[in-house]
Structure formats: C-alpha cells, structure tokens
Structure 1
Amino acid sequence: PLILLLLLLIPLLLLGRKNHTTPLRHSRTQTLQTLPRSWRTRLQPLLPMLYTLGIATLIIALARPQRGLDESIVRTEAVDMILLLDLSESMDTRDFTRANQRISRLDATQDVITRFLQNRPNDRIGIVGFASLPYAIAPLTLDHPWLIQRIQGLHTRMLDGSRTAIGDGIASAINRLRQSDAKSKIIILLTDGANNAGTLSPQNAATAAEALDIKIYTIAAAGIRTGLFATRNEVDEETLSHLAQTTGGTFYRARNLDTLEAIYTEIDQLEKTEIEVQRYTRYRELATPWMLAGLLLLTLEQLLATGPLGRTT
C-alpha cells in the first residue's frame, strides 16, 4: 500500500526531534569530558530507537496487514450428474449382506452412494427417485451433506412402489440436466427390475439423452438368493445394457455389496473433467496488534524521556 511510503519520513521526524532537544550546558567542558559515563548516558540512544519503532509500527497498522487463510484459485475435476434410483417395493428385498447381516437392496445402495458423494465434493449432484412415477428428490447442488441426508431418508413408501417406470425416470433426470453447461453430464441409473409403467420407453429416453450428450451408466442391483428364499431375477439386463451402449455409458451387474461399491468406485474414476474453480480467500485482520504495539512503544519512549532518561539542563 502507498501508505507504507510514510516510513520514508521517519528520518525527518527524528531530525526535527533532535533540533528541538535542549542542549546540555556546562562551564567546564574539559571536566565534562573526563566524567565517567552513567547508565543514563548509555541508555540515551534507546529513546530514538523506541520512537522510530513506534512510528513505523503505527504506519504498518494503518496499512491494514492481513493474513490469507485460503487459496484463491484451484483447478479441480467435476461433472454434473443425476443419481436415478429405483424406489419400487422390490428394493426392500434383503439379498445383500453387510457384516454378516442381511440388508435390503436399498440399504446397500444408500451405504455405497453416501461414500460416493463424500469422494466427489466438487460435483453438482442431484437425485431422482422413481417407481410407478418419477420423483425429484434433490436438485443439482454442491451441498453434499444435505444430499447425504436426503439419501439416508429414502424409503420405498415414498412412492407408489408397485410398478417401475424406468423410461419416465430417465426423462425426469434428463430434464434436470438439460440446462447444464458442464462438459460432462451423466445419469447413474440403479434398478432391480424392468420397465412396466410410464409413458416413455427406456429406449426413447436413451435416444433423447444421447441427443443432449448425456451419458447413462446403468446398474442392475439384485443379490442371489437360494433355497426357500430364492426369488426370480426380474432385472431387464438387456434393456439396461442397451441404454448404456446408446449413450456411451457402461452397464454393470451388482450381486453383492462389494461389487456395488466397486462399480461406483469405477464410475468415480471414469468421470473426471478438469475445471477452474474460484474460491474466495478469507482474511484475518492484523492491524489491531500492530496498532497496540506501536502505541506501547511510543508510550514507553515518553515515560523514559520524561523520567529516568530525561535530559537535565
């Protein structure tokens, strides 16, 4: 700051103080020269030093010194994505395992997506659920703690879960990415069933996504159950594979929690786009301690000058 140029005037201030100092007079100068130096004489140079430091410190305080606490600009990687999640009744099927305990497909999905969100802090992510109808759960946002709360609150009773409208769900996700100007736009579709409701077919929805340069990753999530608890596999893997192929994505099959975790980890590695992010720097003001230090030095100089180190006539 230009105010620091005032530091150049300090020598002039010292010169002015020296010219106004009352000289020490004595009738016998030779006798004076032979007198031993007292402690007052030895400490006299301390006064201009304190004065100089005090004035300099006050000038620095006026310049408002600050300390930045954050970086200003960083380069990072980000995409805009919609997590499209099946919330039909079949997602309550307990054919996944966590710590030797049976958990539902939805529980497994919530666990994995929570960790996925924590690993992508710079992405704008939204959530759309679907069963017989699609339902917007969260818009595109960087507020991932809030997204995690929304994920943890999902349950199959939020919607009419008797049927599965995959095509309409994709259309709803596309609508939320339509205005995005991100270089990479993706939908991660997770389902355990087949399209049997809605007005738009999954194939037509995929064609619309391709036209808007939106990539769809598809995940068939259903565990394997045997014996008395065996259930027929109703996942339409062929359609899910076609959706991914049409839009440039990838089809995955998740039969257990570890596989589901690995799938989201792989997608996390595949979808990286470098962008520049402006981060505002927070500053801490340092003027107050400099001001107090300057006043303390000048006060000390005045006390010494009028007290033990004062000149006598």
Structure 2
Amino acid sequence: MSFDRPLALLSLALVAALAAGYVLARRRRSRYTVLYPNVDLLRAVAPRFSARREWAVAGLVAGALGLVCVALAEPLVNRTTTVENATVVLVVDTSRSMLTADIAPSRLEAAKAAARAFVDRVPERLRVGIVTFAGDANVTTFPTHDHARLHDSIDAIDPFQSGGGGTAIGDALARSVELARWSFPNGLPERTAGSRPAESGVAILFLSDGRQFRGILPPDAGAALAAQAGIPVYTVALGTDRPNEQDGLFGFSQSPDRETLRRIAETTGGEFFSARSASALSSAYGNLGSRLGRTRKPTEVTYLVVAAAAAALAAALGLSRLWEPVLP
C-alpha cells in the first residue's frame, strides 16, 4: 500500500497522544470520600463497570480515529487492470510440418486448441488479431474483441492457406508489426518506465515448429523491427527433437529452431517457451493469457478505509449502549 498524501499520516500522532491520555486518566481516577454510612448497601445498588468493556469501546474509538487519519492520506493499492486498447497479435505457423503427429493429434491441432484457450482467458477488453504464415504471411483476423469471430478464424486455420511450403519467420514478424501499427492509428503506446513487457499495450505471440526456409526478411531482421516498435514478442517453439518417428503429410517434419525463437524473444524483450507436448503448449498459452494486456495500477481505496472507520465507530457506539450500566 502507498499513499498519495503521506504527510497526512502524521495525524496518527494525535491519536496516539489521545490514547496515552486516556490510559493516564484511568490510572489517576480521583478517589472520593464516601459519606454514606451503609457501605454494603451502597455497593449493592452501585452500577458495576467492566474494565474489559471499557477497553473494548476505547479501542474501537481509537481504531476509528486511526482509520480516519489513514483515509486523509488517500491510500492506494495496486490492482490488476486491463491496459486501455491492449492488443495481442497471435501468429501461427501453418507450414506442412505442422501436420506432424509427435504432438497429438497434430502440431497444428494442438496449436489451435491452445489458441482457443488463450482467447477464452484474455480480458474481454483486449483485442486479438491473427496472422498465419508458411511461405507467405497473411492477416486472417484484424484485432477485435469479438471472441466468437476469433474462434471461427482459429477453426478455419489449415496448412494450405499461407503459401504452402516454407517457413517465413522474418516476414511473419514484419507483417505482425504492421498489423499492430494499423490497430493504433495515433501511434503505438509507449511502455511506461519500470513496466514489464507483459504490461505493454501491444504484444506478439509467435508460434512456430520449424526453421526459416523461405521469405524475404531473415528472423533477426523481423525481430529488429518489433524491437524498434517497442513490441515484445513471446515465442513458442512447438515440437519434439525426434519428429521423424511421426512424419507429417508427405514427410514434411522437422524439429523446431529453438535458438532462433529464443533470440527473437530476447531481442524484443519478450519470453521464450519450448513446448514439447500439448500440455506444455496449453500451459504456456494459459500463462500468457492471464498476463498479456494486463497491468498493476495504483487505485485509491479511501472509501474502503472510511467505511471501516464508520463501522468501528458504529460498533463502539452500539457496545457502549449495550453495556451501559443501569441501576437495578
């Protein structure tokens, strides 16, 4: 917890002084001479006070005053909120090697299932766009909040919609950066000082299972474009090291180029994930789905502190009335 007006906390010293004064007053209660001759009768009819009850009421009053002092300082707590107009570009490799079955039922189907789970987990206010690539990179869905439309686009992904053979990683990165720029006509949001990459207003989630064999830009050049735009790229290398045991369609199977994908993530300030199973892929996507497009932002909670002070004061008043001594 932090405070917008921390100097107001000095008023707590006044509450401490009042509490100390109350304690001293109790210890120095005046002793009066009793002139009534029948002391036993006086003791029988005199109201009985409970020290514990008095301390309880006094404690509640002191707590209420302390909370009022805290409220004057305007307390702030960090809460997780969605970044305004946050956008994630989901990039999926659709080359023929994605039909390899080393990750059941196939790499592509596992990727589509994880993408659906990702869409379901991200905040409603976060926009998601989709880019597919193989030999070429194509935008299949412009950034949108419409989850039903995103699910339809993911379901429609197939290994023949992006230029057939090849894996144009650099071109796919460049196309994703273009799409991100398009979604922010007034310029991409700047990352605030001290913020983590996951808290930026735009990010790229990049999944591939292979090495670059086609395309104009090399992967490092595509990563440089993303880094220059301030867009973190979260890369996922999908596939095992022994894919030939489960060949893809026409034998197009290969192990992922993890070093290239790791380097892309490091260059752009993102993170690298290696997914050798469907569960590992789902875990990576679930992790990112709960983080991307969210930020921890200071939020004023003065009203909660005032409500707590009012409740403490009401409790003190109620107990004092309940325990008020009366003559029998």
TM-score, shorter chain, exceeding 0.5: yes
Counterpart position of 1:80: 87
Scaled by the length of structure 1, what TM-score is found? 0.59
The answer to whether the aligner puts 1:163 opposite 2:133 as a matched pair is no
Tell me how far 1:94 sits from its aligned partner: 1.2
Tell me how far 1:104 sits from its aligned partner: 0.8
Deviations 1:201-258 (A, max 9, x none): 1101111111111000011101465895479743111111110000010111101111
Does the C-alpha gap of structure 1 residues 228 and 190 become closer, same or farther in structure 2, counting only changes over 3 Å? closer
Counterpart position of 1:116: 118
Counterpart position of 1:63: none
* Structure 1 unaligned blocks of 5 or more: 1-74, 98-102, 277-313
Conserved? CA contact 2:242–2:255, under 8 Å:
no
Counterpart position of 1:254: 275
* Cα separation, 1, equivalents of 2:204 and 2:157: 18
- State which of 267, 270, 276 in structure 1 corresponds to 2:288: 267
The answer to whether the aligner puts 1:203 opposite 2:225 as a matched pair is no
Counterpart position of 1:302: none
Tell me how far 1:274 sits from its aligned partner: 4.5
The answer to whether the aligner puts 1:154 opposite 2:157 as a matched pair is yes
Q: Which amino acid aligns with 1:83?
A: L
Conserved? CA contact 1:95–1:224, under 8 Å:
no
Residues 83-232 of structure 1 correspond to what in structure 2 (within 5 A)? Answer: 83-97=90-104, 103-120=105-122, 121-179=124-182, 180=184, 181-182=188-189, 183-223=200-240, 225=242, 229=246
* Cα separation, 2, equivalents of 1:163 and 1:202: 13
Tell me how far 1:268 sits from its aligned partner: 2.2
Does the C-alpha gap of structure 1 residues 227 and 162 become closer, same or farther in structure 2, counting only changes over 3 Å? closer
Does the C-alpha gap of structure 1 residues 209 and 227 become closer, same or farther in structure 2, counting only changes over 3 Å? closer
* Cα separation, 2, equivalents of 1:199 and 1:233: 21
Matched residue count = 198
SS in 1 for 2:140: strand
* Cα separation, 2, equivalents of 1:150 and 1:255: 25
Does the C-alpha gap of structure 1 residues 117 and 195 become closer, same or farther in structure 2, counting only changes over 3 Å? same
* Cα separation, 2, equivalents of 1:163 and 1:242: 20
SS in 2 for 1:140: strand
Identical-residue share of aligned pairs (%): 30
Worse-superposed segment, 135-144 or 229-238:
229-238
Superposition RMSD in Å: 2.4
* Cα separation, 2, equivalents of 1:176 and 1:228: 37
Q: Which amino acid aligns with 1:152?
A: D
Does the C-alpha gap of structure 1 residues 227 and 145 become closer, same or farther in structure 2, counting only changes over 3 Å? closer
Tell me how far 1:273 sits from its aligned partner: 2.8
* Cα separation, 2, equivalents of 1:81 and 1:189: 10
Tell me how far 1:160 sits from its aligned partner: 2.6
Conserved? CA contact 1:76–1:122, under 8 Å:
no
Conserved? CA contact 1:216–1:249, under 8 Å:
yes
Conserved? CA contact 2:207–2:238, under 8 Å:
yes
